[in-house]
Amino acid sequence: MFTQGNAWRLKQTLKMPDKCPECGQPFELEVGFWYGTGYVSYALSFALSVATFVAWWVLIGFSTEDHRFFWWMGLNAVFLVLLQPWLMRLSRVMYLYFFVPYDPNYRFTKVKKFDYETDSYYKKEEDNNKQQ
């Protein structure tokens, strides 16, 4: 789905081809399609934070007499920053699956398109700019 296999090459983390090389499914179903991945990424980050909170609570515990809570907050922040490129990619994959579910017979079915296609939008923009 991504042109670069390594998620931590930050300049190329989110580079994708226009269509799936296997089935021809366009990845950007409409203009601004990927803005919704911010919500998915937020939910994943929140879930990971809750998981690290519970693990810290069970394994180390929290106390008002020392700064264990602040240690958890700092380590959790570093953990989320380090995982951010991977979380961004995972959120794109999950968001696309919300709208285009896996089809085992993809060779015999048409690709999923929205009513408002990205290609026609960009062509209209180019035509309008040429006319002006």
**pLDDT tens, residue by residue, 85-96:** 999 999 998 998
The confidence score (pLDDT) of residue 119 equals 59
Dihedral (CA of 69, 55, 36, 5) sign: positive
| Chain segment 24-50, per-residue pLDDT in tens | 888 887 778 889 999 999 999 999 999
Domain boundaries, the chain: 39-100
Q: How far is 42 from 104, CA to CA, in rounded Å?
A: 30
Dihedral (CA of 70, 72, 73, 77) sign: positive
Mean pLDDT, consecutive 10-residue stretches, the chain (132 aa), reads 79 82 80 88 96 95 84 95 92 89 82 65 62 65
